[in-house]
Homo-oligomer: A and B are copies of this chain.
Amino acid sequence: MTARTQESPETGSSRIYAILRKELLSGHFAAGEKLAINALRERYQVGLSPLREALNRLAAYGLLVQENQRGFRVPALRREELEDITRLRLELEGMALEQAIEQGDADWEAELLAAAHRLKRADASTERGEEWERLHTQFHRTLVAPCGSQWLLRFIEQLHDQFDRYRRLGATLASVREELDEQHQQLVSLALARDTVAARRLIEAHVTISFELALKRFQRSA
Contact = CB atoms under 8 A, between A and B. Distances in A.
A148 B152 CA distance: 20
Nearest to A68: B8
Interface string A61-97: 1100001111000000000010011011001000100
A44 interface: no
A157 to B, nearest CB: 12
B9 A69 contact: yes
Interface string A131-145: 000000000000000
Contact of A149 (B52, B68, B87): B87
**Which secondary structure dominates chain A's binding surface?**
helix
Interface in A141-188: 148-152, 154-155, 159, 162
B67 A8 contact: yes
Work out how many copies of this chain go into the complex.
2
A202 interface: no
A53 interface: yes
A11 interface: yes
A31 to B, nearest CB: 16
A150 B84 contact: yes
Which of A10, A95, A149, A154 counts the most B-chain CB atoms under 10 A from its CB? A149
B151 A70 contact: no
A116 B41 CA distance: 49
Interface string A37-74: 00000000000010011101111111000011110000
Contacts of A91: 91, 95
A26 interface: no
A95 B57 CA distance: 28
Given A8-B70, A10-B68, A155-B155, 4 more contacts: A49-B52, A54-B56, A62-B154, A88-B149
